[in-house]
Amino acid sequence: MARPYSVQRQRGFTLIALFCFVLLYLPMVTLVVYAFNAGATTSAWEGLSLRWFHAAAANERIIDATLRSLTIAPIAGLIATVAATMAALATTRTAPYRGLTFKYAFINQPLMVPEIVTAVALLVVFSRVKIWTGYSGLGYLIAAHTAFCIPFAYLPIRARLETMDLTLERAAADLYARPWMVLRRITLPLLWPGILAGFMLAFVVSLDDVVITEFVKSAGQETLPTYMLGQLRRQTTPEMNAISTVFLGLSVAIVTLFFFLSRKTD
User: Domain containing 172 — which CATH number?
Assistant: 1.10.3720.10
- Considering only CA atoms, which of 77, 79, 146 is closest in space to residue 110? 146
Q: Supply the Cα-derived Rg of the chain in whole angstroms.
A: 23
In a domain, 9, yes or no: no
Q: Max alpha carbon distance in the chain (Å)?
A: 75
In a domain, 177, yes or no: yes
d(CA 184, CA 91): 18
- Considering only CA atoms, which of 61, 44, 101 is closest in space to residue 237? 44
Residue 263 is predicted with a pLDDT of 64
Q: How far is CA 211 from CA 82, 139, 142, 215, 221, in A?
A: 24, 17, 14, 7, 14
In a domain, 189, yes or no: yes
Residue 5 is predicted with a pLDDT of 63
Q: Which residue type sits at 114?
A: P
d(CA 210, CA 194): 26
d(CA 13, CA 128): 54
In a domain, 40, yes or no: no
| Cβ atoms within 10 Å of 191's Cβ, excluding its own | 20
Give the chain's domain count.
1
Burial of 232-254, coded b for 16+ CB within 10 Å and e otherwise, reads eeeeebbbbbbbbbbbeeeeeeb
In a domain, 12, yes or no: no
Q: Which residue type sits at 103?
A: K
Please give the residue range of the domain that contains residue 217: 58-265
Written as tens digits, the pLDDT of the chain (266 aa) is: 556 666 666 777 788 888 998 988 888 888 888 888 887 777 778 888 888 888 888 888 889 998 999 999 999 999 999 999 999 988 887 777 787 788 888 888 888 888 899 899 999 999 899 889 888 888 999 999 999 999 999 998 998 888 887 777 778 777 777 878 877 888 888 888 889 889 988 998 998 888 999 999 888 888 988 888 888 777 777 888 888 888 888 878 877 777 776 665 55
In a domain, 154, yes or no: yes
Kindly state the DSSP code that residue 37 receives in the 8-state scheme.
B
In a domain, 221, yes or no: yes
Residue 74 is predicted with a pLDDT of 93
Residue 93 is predicted with a pLDDT of 78
In a domain, 2, yes or no: no
Angle between helices 238-265 and 51-58 (to 10 degrees): 80
d(CA 229, CA 264): 39
Q: How far is CA 221 from CA 68, 136, 206, in A?
A: 8, 10, 15
Q: Is the pTM of this model over 0.95?
A: no
